[in-house]
Copies of this chain bind each other. A is one copy, B any other.
Amino acid sequence: DGLPEEDKVRMATMIDQLQMRDSLRMYNSVVERCFNDCVDNFSRKSLQKQEETCVMRCAEKFLKHSMRVGMRFAELNQGAATQD
């Protein structure tokens, strides 16, 4: 709180940039995972319909998973975890 205004701005900028970098990495990792799990046939350049469906479900599932993990992780960080 005692920080000069300039340092607060710089810290906020740093946090923004780390978050941006992190979401882009997450995006890259979802693409790789869903490609690996859903695409195995290379007789054509275009995606088949069922590959497309698989990719969309995979990405959606991963996002939901990631949000759930985020909630649990935040609870644990705050020491709010319950027993078994």
Interface of A toward B, CB cutoff 8 Å: 44-46, 83-84
Contact = CB atoms under 8 A, between A and B. Distances in A.
**4 tightest Cβ-Cβ pairs between the two chains A and B:** A45-B84, A46-B84, A44-B84, A45-B83
Contacts of A44: 84
Nearest to A82: B45
Interface of A is mostly: loop
A84 B46 CA distance: 6
Contacts of A83: 45-46
Contacts of A46: 83-84
A33 B38 CA distance: 23
Contacts of A45: 83-84
